[in-house]
Amino acid sequence: MSTRIDQRLRELSITLPDAPVPSANYVPARRSGSLVFIAGQVSITSDESVTGKLGHELTIEEGYAAARLCGLNILAQLKACVGDDIDYSKAIKLGGFVNSHPDFTNPPAVINGASDLLIAVMGDAAGKHARFAVAVNSLPGGAAVEVDAIFEIGL
């Protein structure tokens, strides 16, 4: 069955990756009532990875692409968790972590990659969200970006 979200992904020529398998002792997504909590998704898939530090090895544009990759992983986890109910989901909050050189001061410009993706795929009404974007010293596997998310199901 094809959902509205699936159709929008096709229109944008976007293919979701397989939902990443956790590398430690946790679940990638957990539904509690109408909320779905997506564990931090890094800028690494089986086909692509963006690693390194923003402000040193990576530009803001490369960081934006890394955050977009995290957004794709988030959507893949959401779809794996709720199936076709993804059409009745609304983004509530994103938390963005940017692997940064100590002098890097623009994590929000990087995390826009995930935010912009969600809005493009889900539309303004369902895709707009609250968020934070912070610089950190290190991320798992040297990933450039990690983003977690909260969604509400049942608009």
Q: What does the pLDDT look like over 56-110, one tens digit per residue? A: 999 999 999 999 999 999 999 999 999 989 999 999 999 999 999 999 999 999 9
* CB-based contacts of 22-29 (< 8 A; 24+ apart in sequence): 23/140, 23/141, 28/77, 28/80, 28/81, 29/77, 29/78, 29/80, 29/81
Give yes or no for residue 128 having a pLDDT over 80: yes
State the sign of the Cα–Cα–Cα–Cα dihedral 120, 96, 106, 100.
Answer: negative
Distances (CA, A) of 113 to 5, 34, 70, 155: 18, 26, 9, 24
Q: What is the pLDDT of residues 6-41, one digit of tens each?
A: 999 999 999 999 999 998 999 999 999 999 999 999
Hey, which residues does 51 pair with through a beta bridge? 143
